[in-house]
Structure 1
Amino acid sequence: MFKLTRPATAEREIKKSRFATIAAPIADEAAAKAFIAENAFADASHNCWAWRIGADYRFSDDGEPGGTAGKPILQAIEGQEVDNVAVVVSRWFGGVKLGTGGLARAYGGSAAECLRAAEKEEIIPTTMLSVAIAFTDLALVESRLEAFDDIVTAARDFDADGAVFRLAVPDRRLVPLAELLRDLTNGRAALDPDILADPSLSA
């Protein structure tokens, strides 16, 4: 699965109708609605759209025959394996009717063309991991964590015993990291969730 790193646009003309597409990364439904409102052209015949965030999605035909615009845009999003994205395809009618099949191809194809050309990066599944480290192990653990450029320290809170790290860890690194922390601290590091104790997490 991929996500867009920046907005992307594309334009094309099909049987005298002009289609303008804009796609952008979004974080939530509110951001999707705001993006659609900001990128709907007042003078366009139709502003059709779709967005997807994980298992959630919405789409609109905006006056085009049912199933000819919003759904093909969503199918283009799915076909390009893009998540956390909103796509708006605006059409200016040029006087030649495309038919339902032609409309679906035009809207879906416009969205797919835009998404193909967009700058994307792979979405790497991550897990938030809390790790309690005693003061005696702190310097060693911190130095080793710095060697991982794909593990992000989201927070570090101190208490009477040491520090609790909140780490964003790529799932593929969970088990190796848990084993490393246990080795570095002779088993004193407390992990939540406990990767090594839960078979479903270490599978």
Structure 2
Amino acid sequence: MEKNQDIYKTIKTATTGVLFKDRNSKFLGYAYPVQQETDIKQLLDTLRTEHSGANHVCYAWQLGVGETSYRVNDDGEPSHSAGTPIYGQIQAFELTNILVAVVRYFGGTKLGVGGLVSAYRTTAQMTLTESKVVRKKLMATLFLEFEYVSMNKVMRIVKKHSLRVVSQTMDMKCKICLSLPKSDFQKIKGKFEAIQEVLVKE
């Protein structure tokens, strides 16, 4: 993982159907950028439906930055012969917020545990090599509510720190939702709280 805990590496878009063969067994690699476990379940359900004739759909995923959560699944293959080597490649590429799955169609010849480990690791590696890796910054959201008279003070801070306005409503009161780097959150929140007329909410 990056030294700056605000920056993390993931993949830009899904990579699908990367093929590796070993003794007539076919291994198809898939990698997806994900944000939460519900995304993962839906993707795996779709894969299993698309490959209903496959013998195994093995996978590994990791979510989070700093404090990460992960899971590996061998889907009936010998213990640690599939999910663990797939996860090893997620770690080798230093990625998070990612799901890597490998679909196996058995070719009639047993590969042995060592052969399986190599095949799943190689398929995951090939899949991630074909994926577009991107660096992303952890962002946080801040909500402001204030009277029109405070608009100039608020917008001065927004422009000075190049904050992104996610949404704004100008009714009886002004309401603005801002997106800002997580590492700057407390400092910038304090600047807005220093304006007496501004209500600040996370």
Structure 1 residue 192, shift from structure 2 partner: 4.9
1:91 to 95, 101, 104: 104
Matched, 1:56 2:64: no
1:107 to 120, 139, 144: 120
In structure 2, the partner of 1:169 is: 180
- The answer to whether the 8 Å contact 2:192/2:200 transfers is no
For residue 71 of structure 2, give the secondary structure of its aligned residue in structure 1: strand
Matched, 1:156 2:168: yes
- The answer to whether the 8 Å contact 2:74/2:83 transfers is yes
Counterpart CA distance in 1 for 2:80 and 2:186 is 45
Structure 1 residue 146, shift from structure 2 partner: 5.8
Matched, 1:123 2:136: yes
For residue 123 of structure 1, give the secondary structure of its aligned residue in structure 2: strand
- Percent identical among aligned pairs is 25
TM superposition score normalised by structure 2:
0.75
Structure 1 residue 26, shift from structure 2 partner: 2.1
Compare 3-12 and 171-180 and name the one that shifted more: 171-180
* Equivalent residue runs for 1:8-87 within 5 Å: 8-9=15-16, 10-40=18-48, 41-54=51-64, 55-87=68-100
In structure 2, the partner of 1:3 is: 10
Which consecutive unaligned segments of at least 5 residues does structure 2 have? 1-7
Structure 1 residue 170, shift from structure 2 partner: 1.1
* Alpha-carbon RMSD: 2.9
Paired residue type of 2:126: E
**Which digits, 9 at most, give the CA deviation of each residue in 1:89-147, with x for residues without a partner?**
01122233322122112112211221222123212122222344442241564477368
Paired residue type of 1:50: A
Structure 1 residue 61, shift from structure 2 partner: 0.9
Counterpart CA distance in 2 for 1:14 and 1:176 is 55
Counterpart CA distance in 2 for 1:116 and 1:192 is 42
Compare 60-69 and 170-179 and name the one that shifted more: 170-179
In structure 2, the partner of 1:196 is: none
Counterpart CA distance in 1 for 2:74 and 2:146 is 54
Query: How many residues were matched structurally?
Result: 189
Counterpart CA distance in 2 for 1:106 and 1:125 is 34
TM superposition score normalised by structure 1:
0.75
Which consecutive unaligned segments of at least 5 residues does structure 1 have? 194-203
> Highest relative contact order (Cα 8 Å, sep 6+), 1 or 2?
2
